[in-house]
Amino acid sequence: MTESPRTYNQTHAPRKYTPGRRRLSMYVAWSYPAEANRDVAVMDNRFSTLTEVRRAAWPAYEQSPYGSALTFSQGIAGSLELFFRAWLPFQASVHETTGHVMPVFQRVDHAGYRLPIDERVLGDTDTLIVFGLDHAVTAQDIEKSEVEALNEFLAQEGHCLLIGPHHDVGASDDLKVRAMEFAHHGDPLVPRQQRFGRFTRGLIEGLKLPVEARYGLRPATVAGTNKSVPLVIDRDADTKGWLNGVDSFNFHMHLPHYATAPDAGARVLGKQPIDLARPHPFTEAGNREFNAFVWIPPSGKRAGDILFADSTVFSTLFGADESLLRFWRNIATAK
C-alpha cells in the first residue's frame, strides 16, 4: 500500500460533531519563522540545526531524506520538521481511534499566517492540545481574547485542554548551576540555557491554574536500556482513567517538573523517578521524582478537564511502546 499524498497550505475544513467520537486538535504555540530564523551563531535559546543533529546523533540521520541538502533542510527548519514527522503516529492513532483527523495548527506557520486561539481553532474541537515549544525570546504572548475564548471552551462539559509546557533549562543566572543542569540531562543538543513556553506560561497565568513548569530533568532508566523506569501512579486519584493500562511514558533526556500549589485542586497522577547518578539542584534539595502528568478536574464554572503532559509524550522521536499507545487512546476517548 502506498502512502497517501501530502498536502500543505490549505484552509482547515471543520469536522462535524459525531456522538461518542472526540475531535482532537493540536496547537503549536510557536512562530515557525521566529524559530527557524534564529541566529545560529547564538548558542542559547534556539533549536539545533539539522547539521548539528546529524553530527551529534551520527549516523542516525544520514539516511534519506535527512542527509542531503537536496532533500531536507539542513538548518533549524530541518530540525523543526522532525517534530512534525514524529507527531504523525499520534495523529494516525487519533484518526484510527476517533474517525476524525487531527489538525496541527501553528501560532505562526511556515508561510507567515498568524492564528491565535479563537473560534477557528475551538469551534470543532473537543480536546485541544497546546504545546509550549516556543522559545521565550520569540515573545509569543497570549492575548486576553484567547484566555476568554479558552474559558468559554472549558465552561462546556466534556471539553478538555491539555497543556504541554516544555523544559526550562538554565533559568539561573549562576553559570555553575547551568553547568550542573547541562551535565545532569547530558544532551549535547540542548544549550546551557533553553527556556521554553512563554505562551503556555501566559496561558497558565490567564486561566489561574496552580501549576508551574520548571527545570529539565533526566528520568531514571531501566538498567542497560534507554527505557524510563515506570511512573509512580496515583491510581486512586485517577478517577477518570487517564492512565488506565499505562505504566510508563517514553524516555526523554530533559523533562519539565509540573510543580503544583498545595490544596489547589490539581491531582498529580504520574510522577517520574529521576536519574540520581547525575546531580541537579532539584535532587540536591531532596527530590527524587518529578511531576510528569497532572490533572485538574472540573470545578466551579469550569466544566472541562485540564491536563499537563510534555509534548515529547506525543512524539515518536523518543520511542513508543504499547504503554504510550494506550495513553494516546485514553486521551482520545476519555469522556
The pLDDT > 90 percentage for the chain reads 94
In the three-class reduction of DSSP (H, G, I as helix; E, B as strand; rest coil), residue 323 is classed as helix
Question: Would you say 123 and 117 are in contact if contact means Cβ atoms under 8 Å apart?
Answer: no
pTM score of the predicted model: 0.97
- pLDDT for 152-165, tens place per residue? 999 999 999 999 99
pLDDT at 8: 87
Angle, helices 76-98/322-333, rounded to nearest 10 degrees: 70
Assigned domain for 3 exists: no
Rounded to whole angstroms, the Cα distance separating 171 from 164 reads 18
Task: Print the domain residue range for 195.
Answer: 24-333
Q: Is residue 201 part of a domain?
A: yes
- pLDDT, one tens digit per residue, over 213-242 is 999 999 999 999 999 999 999 999 999 999
pLDDT at 256 over 60: yes
- Tens digits of per-residue pLDDT, 41-71? 999 999 999 999 999 999 999 999 999 999 9
Q: Is residue 13 part of a domain?
A: no
- For residue 3, is pLDDT > 80? no
| Residue 2 counted as domain residue | no
Residue 240 falls inside a structural domain: yes
CATH number for position 123: 3.40.50.880
- The per-residue pLDDT for range 105-155, each reduced to its tens digit, is 999 999 999 999 999 999 999 999 999 999 999 999 999 999 999 999 999
User: Residue 235: inside a domain, yes or no?
Assistant: yes
Residue 56 inside a domain? The answer is yes
Kindly report the average pLDDT of the chain as a whole number: 96
How many domains are there within the chain? 1
Q: Is 69 exposed, middle or buried (0-12, 13-18, 19+ CB in 10 A)?
A: exposed
The position carrying cell 541538502 is 69
> How far is it, in rounded angstroms, from Cα 311 to Cα 295?
16
Residues 160-208: pLDDT tens digits? 999 999 999 999 999 999 999 999 999 999 999 999 999 999 999 999 9
* Predicted local distance difference test score (pLDDT) of residue 9: 87
Determine, yes or no, domain membership for 180.
yes
pLDDT-derived band at 2 (thresholds 50, 70, 90) equals low
Q: What percent of the chain has pLDDT over 70?
A: 99
**C-beta of residue 98 within 8 angstroms of C-beta of residue 333:** yes
CB atoms within 10 A of CB 323: 18
Q: What pLDDT does residue 66 have?
A: 97
Residues 6+ apart with CB under 8 A from 286: none
